[in-house]
Amino acid sequence: MMTGRNKTKIDITDDKSVSENEKVVNTADPLKELEEKLKNKELEAKQEHDRFLRVSAEFENYKKRSAREMSEFRKYANESLISEMLTVVDNIERAIITSSSNDQANSCIIEGVSLTLKEILKVFDNFGVKPIESLCKAFDPNFHQAVMQEESDEHPDNTVIAELQKGYMIHDRLLRPSMVIVSKLKSSN
């Protein structure tokens, strides 16, 4: 049965107790139907909104993680170059030590090599490279590589008494450990 603009469902049931001319007409409440559809759509919208919030949060986390990774990459990008330059610094330091003990060495050469070393170390400092202070410090296998042990009465056990090669840090990461000689107490015989 249709009335004007409103569409109404008519449920006609075949029932043996009802005569053919008398059909039972059930009309569903259109308001309840619409309310049910609205509830379903609201639930759908809430689920989509929750999904959107999760995706947004994941994207923000991704952006932060990417920025952090890029920062780490930039921070340590020069590590291999600086690692190669350490041997140059070692050789310049050896030249200065060897030449300064020789009275006949030309003081201009020593001064030039010293200035070169200072410039290289200044570049290292600009890139976050710092030497590890080892001499007279307690031996730390995280920063030192012991190549020898010497008996000593002057130093406590496991103290660095000589540095054969300087170690370096780049920011908070070990670039190269210090090659050191470590003290051990003299054995009492």
**Which residues constitute the domain of residue 86?**
78-127
User: Beta-carbon neighbour count of residue 136 at 10 Å?
Assistant: 12
Checking if the pLDDT of 80 tops 50, the result is yes
Residue 117 covered by a domain: yes
Q: For residues 22 and 180, give the distance between their C-alpha atoms in angstroms, rounded to a whole number.
A: 109
pLDDT in tens, 11-69: 544 445 545 544 444 456 888 999 999 999 999 999 999 999 999 999 999 999 999 99
Q: Does one domain contain both 108 and 134?
A: no
Residues 189 and 138 in one domain: yes
> pLDDT digits over 89-126, tens only?
888 888 777 777 666 657 767 777 888 888 888 888 88
* More confident of the two residues 2 and 157: 157
Average pLDDT, the chain: 82
Q: In this structure, what CATH number is given to the domain that contains residue 182?
A: 2.30.22.10
Is residue 35 located within the same domain as residue 63? yes
Q: Write down which residue in 42, 77, 112 finishes a domain.
A: 77
Please check whether residue 188 lies inside any domain of the structure. yes
User: In this structure, are 114 and 98 located in the same domain?
Assistant: yes
State the total domains in the chain: 3
- Clarify whether residues 86 and 69 are in a common domain: no
- pLDDT for position 24: 43
Q: What region, left, alpha or beta, does residue 22 occupy, with left being phi > 0 and alpha being psi -120 to 50 degrees?
A: beta
132-155 residue pLDDT tens: 999 999 999 999 999 999 998 888
Looking at the structure, tell me whether residues 64 and 85 fall in a common domain. Answer: no
Structural domain contains residue 45: yes
pLDDT for 1 equals 45
**Residue 22 falls within a domain, yes or no?**
no
Q: Tally the C-alpha atoms within 13 A of residue 156's C-alpha that lie toward its C-beta.
A: 6
Domain boundary residue, one of 37, 59, 77: 77
Q: Is residue 102 part of a domain?
A: yes
CA distance linking residue 24 with residue 13, whole number of Å = 6
Same domain, 58 and 105: no
41 phi, psi to nearest 5 deg: -70, -40
- What is the arithmetic mean of pLDDT over 148-174? 91
Same-domain status, 117 and 134: no
Q: Ranked by mean pLDDT, which of 4-8, 55-59, 81-85, 152-156 comes out on top?
A: 55-59
Chain-centre distance of CA 128, in angstroms? 17
